[in-house]
Each structure stands twice: as structure tokens, then as C-alpha cells.
């Protein structure tokens, strides 16, 4: 009921509901049972509709959420794999240095156009070229800058800069200044 209906027909909602309840109360037991059965069936139908809506919403929200979660887990596993490669390639790397390398890759993944995984891959290239943990920490930003400016793949930038630094005996922390 709304106000327009009340004005048009001159029946207030409260009066109508009261009449309906009184009408049902005056019905015979058989008629009341039929009324209750109809009402129960209508409520069950509404319940099924809500259940269908719930299932649809669950699928609509759960599937994308599961995809995002799966992607995040795979990305994290990929990053960890890259960092494990760095740890394996750097001689005598300490747990503290690995923590610094890990933090640096994550930081540069946020601050540059490259992801943390890509930064970790560049660390791996530098480590494969024989750089120590401190040299990788000092030179990684320069490698990322070279890759960005030269529009190079990070592996290429790491290989080029490593070759130049090693060939000319330049310290890795001078990567951004000398190359």
C-alpha cells in the first residue's frame, strides 16, 4: 500500500490488514488450512528465489576472488623462486643480506615501473655475473634505471651494466653514475 492507493480507494493499510486477519480468523478450519498451505508455498518459493540469488552472487564474487588469490599466490611463489636463485648465486650471502635484498626488490617493485619479481630477476643476473650481495644492493637501482631509459629487458640491462662495471673495474654502487 502506498499513499496514492489509500487516497484512491479510501482504505488505509492498517484497516486492510486488520480486515484480512479478521477474515482469515472467521474462515472454517479447512479454509484456514488451505490459506496456510498457500502462504507456506509462497514463502518457500521466495526462499528458493533468495537461495538462487545467493548462489548467483556467490559465484559472481567467489570466482573472481579465487582468481585474484591464485594469481597472488603464484606471483608470490615466483618472487620467492627468483630470490632463492639470488641466494644460491651469491657466495657467502647472510640471512641479513637476503633480508636486505628481499626488501630492496619489494621497494623497487613499488617505486619503479618494474615488478618486485623483475627486480629479483635482475638481482639474479647480477649475482650470476659475480656481484656480491652488497654490490647487488648498491647497483640494482642503476640497472633498473638503465633498463627503463634504454627500453631494455632487465636481463639485458643487468648483463650490459655488469660487463661494463667488471671490465672497467667500477664499483657497483656507481652504476647509476658511471654508466
SS3 44: helix
0.85 cut: is pTM over it?
A: no
Per DSSP, which regions of the chain are E strands? none
Residue 126 CA to residue 160 CA, distance in Å, equals 10
- Each of the 179 residues of the chain gets a pLDDT tens digit; together they read 566 656 666 666 555 555 455 555 555 566 555 656 666 666 666 667 666 766 665 656 665 655 555 555 555 568 888 899 999 999 889 999 999 999 999 999 999 999 999 999 999 988 988 889 999 999 899 889 888 888 888 888 888 887 887 777 777 766 655 44
Comparing CA positions, the residue from 178, 149, 155, 162 lying closest to residue 82 is 155
Cα–Cα distance between 154 and 105 in angstroms, integer? 13
* Residue matched to cell numbers 619503479: 112
Amino acid at each position: 500500500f502506498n499513499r496514492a492507493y489509500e487516497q484512491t480507494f479510501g482504505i488505509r493499510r492498517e484497516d486492510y490488514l486488520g480486515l484480512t486477519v479478521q477474515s482469515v480468523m472467521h474462515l472454517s478450519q479447512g479454509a484456514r488450512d488451505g490459506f496456510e498451505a498457500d502462504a507456506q508455498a509462497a514463502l518457500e518459493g521466495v526462499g528458493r528465489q533468495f537461495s538462487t540469488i545467493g548462489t548467483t552472487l556467490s559465484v559472481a564474487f567467489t570466482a573472481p576472488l579465487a582468481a585474484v588469490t591464485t594469481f597472488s599466490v603464484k606471483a608470490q611463489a615466483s618472487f620467492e623462486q627468483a630470490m632463492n636463485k639470488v641466494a644460491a648465486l651469491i657466495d657467502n650471502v647472510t640471512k641479513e643480506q637476503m633480508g636486505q635484498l628481499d626488501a630492496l626488490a619489494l621497494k623497487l617493485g613499488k617505486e619503479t615501473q618494474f615488478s618486485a619479481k623483475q627486480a629479483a630477476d635482475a638481482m639474479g643476473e647480477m649475482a650470476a655475473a659475480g656481484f656480491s650481495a652488497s654490490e647487488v644492493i648498491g647497483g640494482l637501482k642503476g640497472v633498473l634505471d638503465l633498463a627503463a631509459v634504454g627500453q631494455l629487458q632487465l636481463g639485458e640491462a643487468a648483463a650490459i651494466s655488469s660487463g661494463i662495471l667488471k671490465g672497467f673495474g667500477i664499483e657497483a654502487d656507481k652504476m647509476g653514475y658511471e654508466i
